[in-house]
Amino acid sequence: MKTLALASRVLFGTSGLALLLAANASAGSITLGLYADLATSPGALLSVIGTIDDDKLSGLPTNYDFPLSAPYGLKAGQRYWIGMSTSNNSRAAWGITGDLGGTGVTSEYSQDLFLGLQPNTVFEAFQMRLTTSSSGVIFDSLDFADLDVEGGFEPDPVLDYGPLYGSFTALSNDNLVDVKAKLVNVAAPEPSSVSMAVIGAGLLYLMRCRLAKAN
Residues 134 and 51 in one domain: yes
Residues 180 and 194 in one domain: no
Work out how many domains the chain is built from and give that number.
Answer: 2
Residues 3 and 15 in one domain: yes
Bridge partner list, 83: 33, 165
Smallest Cα–Cα separation from 144: which of 131, 162, 125, 161?
125
Domain containing 88 equals 28-187
Q: What is the pLDDT along the chain (215 residues), one digit of tens a residue?
A: 333 333 333 333 333 333 333 444 558 999 999 999 999 999 999 999 999 999 999 999 999 999 999 999 999 999 999 999 999 999 999 999 999 999 999 999 999 999 999 999 999 999 999 999 999 999 999 999 998 888 889 999 999 999 999 999 999 999 999 999 999 999 744 444 444 554 555 545 444 544 455 55
Please give the model's pTM, rounded to 2 decimal places.
0.76
Residues 139 and 170 in one domain: yes
The burial class, CB within 10 Å (0-12 / 13-18 / 19+), for 162 is buried
Residues 47 and 139 in one domain: yes
Is 79 in contact with 139 (CB distance < 8 Å)? no
Residues 117 and 145 in one domain: yes
pLDDT of res. 27 = 81
Residues 181 and 204 in one domain: no
Bridge partner list, 181: 64, 128
Residues 33 and 132 in one domain: yes
Q: Give the phi and the psi of residue 91 in degrees, each rounded to 5.
A: -100, 20
Residues 104 and 42 in one domain: yes
How far is Cα 10 from Cα 7, in angstroms, rounded to an integer? 5
Residues 67 and 170 in one domain: yes
Residues 19 and 64 in one domain: no
